[in-house]
Amino acid sequence: MKLTAVHGDAVVVTSRLWQTNAIALRAGGETMLIDSPYFPDELELLPGVLGQAGFEIDALLATHADFDHVLGRLAFPDLSLGVAESTMLRIRAEPGAAQRELRDADAEFYVERFSPLALGQVQSLPVPGKLELGDHELELHPSEGHTGDGMSVFDPASGVLCPGDYLSGVEIPTLSPGGSVDLYRGTLARLAGLVERAEAVVPGHGTPHGRESALRLVDEDLAYLDALERGEQRPQLPEGRDTRRQREIHADNLRATAR
């Protein structure tokens, strides 16, 4: 687990699994944690690591309902989890899905976990909408296409944008159940506008970006979606993302768009 300071009053904790990022955003004495690391030891250490850096967490948010983003309560069992309305609907439609996916991942990676995941109190937030954090007003923007649910969190005062599983330098666009190319394109268009106003973009997986590299990712991901829609078996994948794992994701994406 790695702790990195980003622009403004924010730090990113990066998990050893998939470079999954949890972002602590602070404003006016209030701190919010967006998403979560994965491994039990990371979750156990999280409050201490953030506390030492001066970030005492008051509230939890998840960008979408995929299991690797909703584990915050394992580190902060007393806090409720804020999610987009679309994510709340997904959680209600698939009760226990995150718990099952977490158990499967734990089994795959031989991870022992002693406290089971309980999402606890989940709070549904209107998206698009605004959310107060201390003296800042966060913007919540719909972000669908990877899955059928989700939101991006943008703090205009600090310029920090947390898009969830979009604009990653380590992962190509991934169409999971509920996602689609059209929804994904709409989200990238929306994100492009937000990136123009952002100073730092912290994706769900991989290194945070400045504005220029985030805009390059928007272009690369739109080009990838075009190739996917043409049904290309071996499209050129962006630099740094042409790996065996990303080729597997591409094969899954082809199957998902053929349905």
Q: Which of 47-55, 75-83, 165-173, 177-185 is the region at the interface with Zn ion (rule: CB under 5 A)? A: 165-173
Angle, helices 211-229 vs 244-258, to 10°: value is 50
Cβ atoms 199, 215 nearer than 8 A: no
What one-character DSSP code corresponds to residue 132?
E
Task: Report the distance separating Cα 13 and Cα 38, nearest Å.
Answer: 11
Chain centroid to Cα 133, Å, comes to 19
- By CB under 5 A, name the one of 165, 178, 183, 208 that touches Zn ion: 165
Cβ atoms 220, 238 nearer than 8 A: yes
Q: How far is the CB of 53 from Zn ion (least distance, A)?
A: 23
Pick 44 or 101: Cβ nearer Zn ion? 101
Pick 9 or 165: Cβ nearer Zn ion? 165
User: Count of residues binding Zn ion (CB under 5 A)?
Assistant: 4
Task: Report the distance separating Cα 59 and Cα 70, nearest Å.
Answer: 13
Site for Zn ion in 4-23 (CB under 5 A): none
Q: Which of 109-117, 151-159, 160-168, 233-241 is the region at the interface with Zn ion (rule: CB under 5 A)? A: 160-168
Pick 142 or 159: Cβ nearer Zn ion? 142
Lay out the site mask for Zn ion across 183-212 (x = CB under 5 A, - = otherwise): ---------------------x--------
Contacts of 60 (CB under 8 A, 6+ apart): 32, 33, 72, 73, 76, 79, 80, 81, 82
Pick 66 or 149: Cβ nearer Zn ion? 66
Site for Zn ion in 46-75 (CB under 5 A): 66, 68
Binding site for Zn ion (CB under 5 A): 66, 68, 165, 204
